[in-house]
């Protein structure tokens, strides 16, 4: 078969516009020994595609769909937990701001202690109490770091997937430019 016809059918194949007959012709051509030198890089692609059966493709599609749905559910759960933590922290900050504002509205401050050493000792004791409560609050945030560690492998996979989508988008733009230039 003429290389120009094969190139045209390849273009239709990569555009997703080829028929089953066109794909069969391409597979037969690339199985033959009479492949044009310019088209040799596509031989391995079509040799690999002939070994895949439709039922195997459907099995892989189902596995991929199950994987995507499971990851979406996990991601929604993760965001829900993260949202709860963020809203809890925001509520705590609002309460703290309210308390600070309320206590700052008092016009007359009176000293509680006449002895500065006794006032210092009480302040130190209070600060230790607050620091202990602060550490308890931070301890409750430790699962967030575990969550971040659990997401790292998925994040790398999603980055790779996004890179693939970006490449596909670039190929589509290039293809549309080529189609516009075609007479």
pLDDT in tens, 121-152: 999 999 999 999 999 988 888 877 777 777 77
Structure token pair of residue 34: 């009479």
- Nearest Cα to 25, choosing from 39, 46, 44? 46
In the chain, how many H helices and how many E strands? 6, 0
Is 50's pLDDT higher than 60? no
Is 109's pLDDT higher than 70? no
**Contact present, 179 and 14 (Cβ < 8 Å):** no
Q: Within 13 A of 148's CA, how many CA atoms are on the CB side? A: 5
Average pLDDT value for the chain: 82
**Contact present, 50 and 58 (Cβ < 8 Å):** no
H or E stretch including 175? helix 142-181
Other residues' Cβ atoms within 10 Å of the Cβ of residue 6: 20
State residue 107's pLDDT score. Answer: 62
State residue 12's pLDDT score. Answer: 87
| Highest mean pLDDT (candidates 4-13, 36-45, 93-102) | 93-102
For 26, counting Cβ atoms within 10 Å of its Cβ (0-12 exposed, 13-18 middle, 19+ buried), the class is buried
Query: How confident is residue 57, by pLDDT bands cut at 50, 70 and 90?
Result: low
Alpha-carbon dihedral sign for residues 179, 181, 182, 183: positive
Higher pLDDT, 178 or 35: 178
DSSP states along 95-119: HHHHHHHHHHT------S-SSHHHH
């Amino acid at each position: 078969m003429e290389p120009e016809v094969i190139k045209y059918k390849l273009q239709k194949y990569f555009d997703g516009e080829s028929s089953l007959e066109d794909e069969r012709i391409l597979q037969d051509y690339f199985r033959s020994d009479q492949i044009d030198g310019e088209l040799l890089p596509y031989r391995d692609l079509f040799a690999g595609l002939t070994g895949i059966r439709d039922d195997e493709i459907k099995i892989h599609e189902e596995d991929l769909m199950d994987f995507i749905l499971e990851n979406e559910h996990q991601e929604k759960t993760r965001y829900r937990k993260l949202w709860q933590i963020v809203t809890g922290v925001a509520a705590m900050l609002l309460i703290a701001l309210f308390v600070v504002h309320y206590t700052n509205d008092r016009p007359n401050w009176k000293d509680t202690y006449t002895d500065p050493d006794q006032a210092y000792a009480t302040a130190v004791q209070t600060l230790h109490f607050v620091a202990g409560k602060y550490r308890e609050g931070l301890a409750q945030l430790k699962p967030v770091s575990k969550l971040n560690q659990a997401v790292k492998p998925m994040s790398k996979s999603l980055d790779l997937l996004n890179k693939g989508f970006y490449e596909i988008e670039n190929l589509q733009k290039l293809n549309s430019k080529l189609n516009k230039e075609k007479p």
